[in-house]
Amino acid sequence: MLRTPTTASARRTRDRILEAALELFNERGTSAVTTNHVAAQAGISPGNLYYWFSDKDEIIRELYAGFAGAHEEVWSGSDANLMDVAPVELLKRLAAGAALSHRYAFLGRELLGLLHGDPVLAAEYHTVRDRRTAAFDAVARRWRSTGVLRPLSDQGIADLIQALWVISETWLAVGEVSGTSVEPADGERLLRVVLEPYLLPG
């Protein structure tokens, strides 16, 4: 069970563990990193790490929660706000999402395997995915009705959202494997290539 820090010092220690883990996971991959590696990187004892996290899976889950929470902040954490967003603002938020994917690079490389190996993480992932895709679907339907989005069937909207989601989750890993650039601007460009042809001028 995760502990909640109650003092500023405790929060700093817990945050230091997560930052150390993120750095190591991004650099080496999760399978090559142990909790002892994380503790050493954070400058604390293994026992101190285990006070906060029972194992590496808990650290990964908490990093995913941070990643998902940061995405929620990008989208203002409110579907009502998202409903009123203009296409140019949506593109800016997609760019911010690409930057987050770059910061949490290990998730882009390993997410599928991590989800298969951890039912708890998979359940949280599907909750986040269902919430966000439902919000995007509502926006796309509104844009369709107001002439912002080209006429698409409901299935066409679902396919467009699926394509954007797949790119947002895989662009970094594909770029690394193919030896191309993997800067946030590259992820943003790919998302724009898919979305912009469906936006009507105006």
User: Is the pLDDT reported for residue 182 higher than 60?
Assistant: yes
Show the CA angle centred on residue 199, arms to residues 92 and 190, nearest 5°. 50
User: Is the pLDDT reported for residue 88 higher than 90?
Assistant: no
Domains, the chain = 1-54 (1.10.10.60), 60-198 (1.10.357.10)
pTM (2 d.p.): 0.89
Could you tell me where the DSSP H helices lie in the chain?
8-28, 35-42, 46-52, 56-74, 79-83, 87-103, 105-117, 119-146, 154-178, 184-195
User: For residues 155 and 190, what is the distance between their CA atoms, to the nearest angstrom?
Assistant: 22
Express each pLDDT in 22-32 by its tens digit. 999 999 999 99
pLDDT reported for residue 74: 84
pLDDT reported for residue 129: 94
pLDDT reported for residue 75: 76
Show the CA angle centred on residue 109, arms to residues 78 and 44, nearest 5°. 85
User: Is the pLDDT reported for residue 78 higher than 70?
Assistant: no
Residue 126 CA, distance from chain mean position: 12
pLDDT reported for residue 157: 97
User: Is the pLDDT reported for residue 113 higher than 90?
Assistant: yes
Tally of CA atoms within 13 A in the half-sphere of 153 that contains its CB = 3
Q: Which of 31, 132, 129 is nearest to 79 (CA)?
A: 132
User: For residues 7 and 12, what is the distance between their CA atoms, to the nearest angstrom?
Assistant: 9
What DSSP designation does 1 have? -
Query: How much is the average pLDDT of 106-114?
Result: 95
Four-point Cα dihedral 173, 176, 178, 181, nearest 10: 120
